[in-house]
């Protein structure tokens, strides 16, 4: 489908596999197209992208965490994240004009600049959001029922996590320190201090904790970006109608809410890509499921399955 539409018209379609993390699934695509077209992203736009990316990461993780609560029979674990994520959805709506699929990232920058006083509103709501999710430690992760359902179930060793090609929180929960924002920084991440959350247990409890810790780190990254972002400047490069690249192939990858997300594009000097392929983390993490369920009780299956930070639509895409 992408091979019959130009680089701009492809944007809304590429968001659909993960509508709750639409900024992050567009990130590697935009980086790849920018290299093909020779576009330089303005400095302010780089920081705006980081802010939108981290807000979207938290929105996705909160939705994933809420569904995990349903899988575990923990109704509060569903209601709290489902309500608290609205704080960040409101911020994304102010930034992009849309609450879910934002179509905000475009080759050469972002679609529009931040609204007036956005920095102050964003800082205030992110600080409150951080305070709220810190309370999750008591209600969720110190909850004896949740611990009983997830601790020492579906254990994935460090060696198997690497061998099976897992990524994101699944990989870091098994003791592997790997995050593309730190290992291969892109855009404004090169100027920011990113801390990687790594646990060694490799069980379902650890895999559910790492995304929660990632949200706390996202709050820290957003504060850094708000402080260092240029106060003015352009937010996108002007594009000609139906821009064309050369005869090149490009692969770019970024860190989404589920792990490493790659985009491979082959250009044949036409306005549309000759080939476009996404390498998605949900598919890579799901591969570990048969290995984790060996010897487990049937009742542990929901806790193990959803701890893999897996989004079905993205895996099927």
| pLDDT (tens digit per residue) in 163-200 | 999 999 999 999 999 999 999 999 999 999 999 999 99
Task: Give the chain's mean pLDDT.
Answer: 94
Residues 90-109: tens digit of each pLDDT: 999 999 999 999 999 999 99
pLDDT in tens, 5-48: 899 999 999 999 999 999 999 999 999 999 999 999 999 999 99
pLDDT band, very low/low/confident/very high, at 229 (cuts 50, 70, 90): very high
Given a cut of 90, whether residue 213 has pLDDT beyond it is yes
Read off the pLDDT band of 125 (50, 70, 90).
Answer: very high
Q: What pLDDT shows up at residue 124?
A: 96
Residue 317 to residue 314: CA distance in whole angstroms: 5
Residue 263: what pLDDT?
97
d(CA 105, CA 29): 9
Angle between helices 43-71 and 22-37 (to 10 degrees): 150
How far apart CA 220 and CA 39 sit, in angstroms, is: 29
pLDDT at position 316 is 85
The pLDDT-based confidence of 139 (bands split at 50, 70, 90) is confident
pLDDT of residue 1: 82
pLDDT tens-digit map of 248-290: 999 999 999 999 999 999 999 999 999 999 999 999 999 999 9
Q: What is the pLDDT of residue 126?
A: 97
Per-residue model confidence (pLDDT) at position 2: 82
3-state SS class at 56: helix
Residue 317 has pLDDT above 80, yes or no: no
Question: How far apart, in whole angstroms, are the C-alpha atoms of residue 249 and residue 261?
Answer: 17
Query: What is the share, in percent, of the chain residues with pLDDT greater than 90?
Result: 88
**Average pLDDT estimate for 75-86:** 93
- Measured between alpha carbons, how far is 181 from 172 in angstroms, rounded to an integer? 14
pTM of the predicted structure, to 2 decimals: 0.95
* Section 45-53 average pLDDT: 98
Residue 267: its pLDDT value, please?
94
Q: Where are the domains of the chain?
A: 2-316
CA angle 282, 126, 226 (to 5 degrees): 95
Q: How many CA atoms lie within 13 A of 271 on its CB side?
A: 11
Taking the C-alpha atoms of residue 26 and residue 105, their distance in angstroms, rounded to an integer, is 7
Q: Quote the pLDDT of residue 43.
A: 97
Query: Topology of 2-316 in CATH?
Result: Cytochrome-c3 Hydrogenase; chain B (1.10.645)
Percent with pLDDT over 70 in the chain: 100
pLDDT for position 169 = 96
**Are 252 and 36 spatial neighbours (Cβ–Cβ below 8 Å)?**
no
| CA 179/CA 167 separation, integer angstroms | 9
Q: What average pLDDT does range 189-212 have in this prediction? A: 96
pLDDT of residue 33: 96
Q: Span 114-120, mean pLDDT?
A: 94
**What pLDDT band is residue 305 in, cutting at 50, 70 and 90?**
very high
Q: What pLDDT score does 84 carry? A: 95
Cα 116 to chain centroid distance, Å, stands at 26
């Amino acid at each position: 489908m992408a091979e019959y539409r130009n680089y701009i018209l492809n944007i809304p379609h590429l968001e659909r596999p993960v509508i709750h993390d639409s900024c992050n699934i567009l990130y590697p695509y935009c980086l790849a197209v920018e290299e093909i077209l020779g576009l330089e992203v303005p400095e302010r736009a780089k920081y705006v992208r980081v802010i939108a990316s981290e807000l979207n990461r938290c929105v996705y993780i909160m939705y994933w965490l809420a569904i995990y609560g349903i899988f575990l029979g923990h109704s509060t674990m569903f209601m709290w994240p489902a309500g608290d994520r609205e704080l960040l959805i409101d911020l994304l709506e102010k930034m992009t004009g849309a609450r879910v699929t934002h179509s905000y990232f475009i080759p050469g920058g972002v679609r529009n600049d931040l609204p007036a006083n956005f920095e102050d509103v964003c800082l205030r709501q992110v600080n409150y959001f951080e305070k709220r999710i810190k309370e999750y430690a008591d209600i969720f992760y110190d909850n004896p029922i949740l611990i009983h359902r997830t601790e020492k179930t579906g254990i994935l060793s460090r060696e198997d996590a690497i061998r099976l090609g897992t990524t994101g929180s699944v990989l870091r929960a098994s003791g592997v320190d790997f995050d593309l924002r730190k290992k291969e920084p892109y855009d404004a991440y090169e100027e920011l201090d990113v801390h990687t959350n790594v646990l060694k247990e490799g069980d379902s409890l650890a895999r559910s904790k790492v995304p929660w810790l990632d949200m706390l780190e996202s709050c820290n990254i957003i504060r850094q970006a708000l402080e260092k972002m240029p106060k003015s400047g352009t937010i996108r490069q002007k594009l000609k109608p139906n821009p064309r690249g050369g005869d090149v192939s490009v692969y770019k990858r970024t860190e989404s809410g589920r792990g490493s997300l790659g985009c491979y594009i082959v250009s044949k000097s036409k306005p549309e890509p000759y080939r476009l392929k996404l390498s998605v983390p949900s598919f890579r993490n799901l591969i570990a499921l048969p290995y984790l369920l060996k010897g487990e009780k049937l009742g542990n299956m929901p806790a193990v399955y959803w701890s893999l930070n897996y989004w079905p639509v993205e895996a099927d895409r």
